[in-house]
């Protein structure tokens, strides 16, 4: 049935422009489905507008701080307005990428499984706060990186944030300082982790509890370097394949199918372990043997070139149908 939907976008984060593009695409798609759509930038008038417009449900096209960190979710919960997406608690906790491994391991423990009994794995990583570097001398201990993480290259990135902003590939000890400064310009904590070579994938998961489905994975093949911010903005810099090319995963057909199942199982385990709701996107690297999860996005991009719309199209489901399903679930929750 048609709803009156507020699509929230923009905001003041570093990812504002991505968000506006997502919001415009969602708005256009929903209007074609017959809904009444009110596109709203999240400014000081937001609450008054939401309270006076008799909104049925909210779609969050917000990315970055304020949109993925539990802020807008908690506000909507306070206003008692249904919205599509994970709860404020889940968004708040897992906005910090360093929390992911602990949540998955705790989920396994609750199920009576050993730490090794699961589909998902992740790169070895450490997290440092700016205050520990600036006020406690942590910068003098960067020589311990090889001991903690193994050989270079490494990935250095903000602990919170998206769109690959502040992410750098570090080839040697001499490059660590500049990479940390760049990452700290986006967040007050950074993650340093093993750089995993392999096939980059984005896997969408829809649903809640036992009623979940994994969308076809999207293979991301940058034409140069890695899938950085520039590549995410310019479709000409990346080739996408959905589903992934079989030869990217393995050499023979049986191994290819096993790899695809392992990738989907890892995405499902992470979505479930973190308590994600409605829609998430799990970013990972297939290293030739197992999926190595990098992060979870609880408010995936929805631009014309974004990965969830690609996955929906590959599964013979239009983006409009996918959005309708998400909105229906939120209204009836």
Question: What pLDDT band is residue 251 in, cutting at 50, 70 and 90?
Answer: very high
pLDDT of the residue at 169: 95
pLDDT for position 6: 98
Instruction: CATH number for 4-85: choose from 3.40.50.20, 3.40.47.10, 3.40.50.1000, 2.40.50.420.
Output: 3.40.50.20
CA-to-CA distance for 86 and 280, rounded, in angstroms?
A: 8
- Mark out the alpha helices in the chain (DSSP H runs): 16-32, 46-52, 71-79, 88-94, 100-110, 130-135, 145-149, 176-184, 229-233, 246-249, 253-273, 307-314, 319-331
Closest CA to 306 of 65, 19, 1: 19
Give the pLDDT band (50/70/90) at residue 79: very high
Other Cβ atoms closer than 10 A to 229: 16
Percent of the chain, pLDDT > 70?
Answer: 100
The answer to whether the beta carbons of residues 44 and 13 sit under 8 Å apart is no
The pLDDT assigned to 286 comes to: 97
Measure the CA–CA gap between 305 and 233, rounded to whole angstroms: 9
- Cα(152)–Cα(131) distance, rounded to whole angstroms? 25
Sequence-distant (≥ 6) Cβ neighbours of residue 59 within 8 angstroms: 5, 6, 7, 8, 26, 30, 83, 84, 323, 326, 327
Identify the bridge partners of residue 279 per DSSP, sorted by sequence position.
Answer: 206
The confidence band for 85, taking pLDDT boundaries of 50, 70 and 90, is: very high
What's the confidence (pLDDT) of residue 228? 79
- Those residues whose C-beta lies under 8 Å from the C-beta of residue 245, and which sit 6 or more positions away, are 219
pLDDT higher than threshold 90 for residue 51: yes
CATH architecture of 125-194: 2-Layer Sandwich (3.30)
What DSSP line would sit under 178-207, residue for residue?
HHHHHHHTT-SEEEEEEPPPSEEEEEEEEE
Where do we find the tokens 């974004």? 306
In angstroms, the CA 92 to CA 95 distance is 5
Query: How do residues 153-182 score in pLDDT, each as one tens digit?
Result: 999 999 998 878 889 999 999 999 999 999
What confidence score (pLDDT) does residue 333 get? 87
Q: Structural domain boundaries of the chain?
A: 4-85, 97-121+197-298, 125-194
pLDDT at 332 over 80: yes
- pLDDT of the residue at 134: 86
* Residue range 119-123: mean pLDDT, rounded: 94
Cα–Cα dist 50/58, whole Å: 9
User: Which comes out higher in pLDDT, residue 118 or 230?
Assistant: 118
Q: How far apart are CA 10 and CA 147, in angstroms?
A: 42
Q: pLDDT at residue 145 above 80?
A: yes
- Model confidence band, residue 140 (pLDDT cutoffs 50, 70, 90): confident
Task: Please say if the pLDDT value at position 93 is more than 80.
Answer: yes
Evaluate whether 242 touches 217 at the Cβ level (below 8 Å): yes
- Average pLDDT over the chain reads 92
Q: What is the pLDDT of residue 34?
A: 95
Q: Over pLDDT 90: what percentage of the chain? A: 74
The pairing of strands 211-214 and 168-170 is unpaired
The whole-angstrom separation of Cα 175 and Cα 271 is 34
Q: Are strands 125-129 and 83-84 parallel, antiparallel or unpaired?
A: unpaired
CA angle 60–38–56, rounded 5-degree value: 70
The pLDDT tens digits of the residues spanning 180-236 come to 999 999 989 999 999 999 999 999 999 987 789 999 999 999 988 888 778 787 778
Length of the chain: 333
> Which pLDDT band, with edges at 50, 70 and 90, does 80 fall under?
very high
Q: For residue 13, what pLDDT band results from cuts at 50, 70 and 90? A: confident
Q: Tell me, what's the pLDDT at 14? A: 85
As a whole number of angstroms, the distance between CA 53 and CA 56 comes to 9
Fold for 97-121+197-298, please state it.
Answer: D-amino Acid Aminotransferase; Chain A, domain 1 (3.30.470)
Average the pLDDT over 47-59 and give the result: 96
> What is residue 240's predicted lDDT score, i.e. its pLDDT?
94
């Amino acid at each position: 049935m048609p709803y009156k939907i507020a699509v929230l976008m923009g905001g003041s984060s570093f990812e504002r422009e991505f968000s506006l593009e997502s919001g415009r695409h969602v708005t256009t798609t929903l209007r074609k489905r017959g809904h009444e759509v009110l596109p709203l930038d999240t400014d000081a008038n937001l609450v008054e507008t939401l309270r006076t417009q008799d909104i049925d449900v909210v779609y969050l096209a917000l990315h970055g701080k304020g949109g993925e960190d539990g802020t807008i979710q908690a506000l909507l919960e306070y206003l008692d307005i249904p919205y599509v997406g994970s709860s404020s608690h889940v968004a708040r906790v897992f906005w910090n990428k360093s929390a992911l491994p602990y949540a998955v391991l705790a989920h396994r423990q609750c199920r009576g499984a050993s730490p090794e009994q699961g589909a998902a794995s992740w790169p070895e990583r450490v997290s440092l706060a700016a205050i520990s570097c600036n006020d406690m001398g942590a910068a003098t201990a960067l020589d311990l990186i090889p001991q903690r993480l193994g050989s270079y290259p490494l990935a250095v990135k903000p602990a919170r944030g998206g769109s690959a902003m502040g992410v750098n590939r570090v080839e040697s000890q001499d490059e660590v300082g500049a990479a940390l400064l760049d990452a700290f310009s986006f967040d007050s904590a950074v993650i340093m982790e093993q750089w995993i070579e392999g096939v980059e994938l984005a896997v969408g998961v829809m649903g809640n509890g036992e009623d979940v489905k994994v969308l076809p994975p999207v293979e991301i093949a940058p034409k140069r370097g890695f899938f950085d911010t520039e590549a995410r903005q310019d479709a000409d810099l990346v080739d996408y394949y959905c589903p992934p090319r079989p030869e990217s995963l393995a050499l023979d057909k049986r191994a290819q199918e096993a790899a695809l199942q392992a990738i989907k199982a890892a995405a499902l385990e992470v979505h479930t372990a973190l308590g994600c709701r409605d829609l998430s996107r799990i970013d990972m690297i297939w290293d030739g043997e197992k999926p190595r999860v990098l992060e979870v996005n609880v408010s995936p991009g929805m631009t014309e070139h974004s990965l969830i719309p690609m996955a929906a199209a590959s599964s013979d489901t239009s983006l409009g149908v996918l959005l309708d399903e998400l909105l229906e679930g939120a209204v009836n929750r």
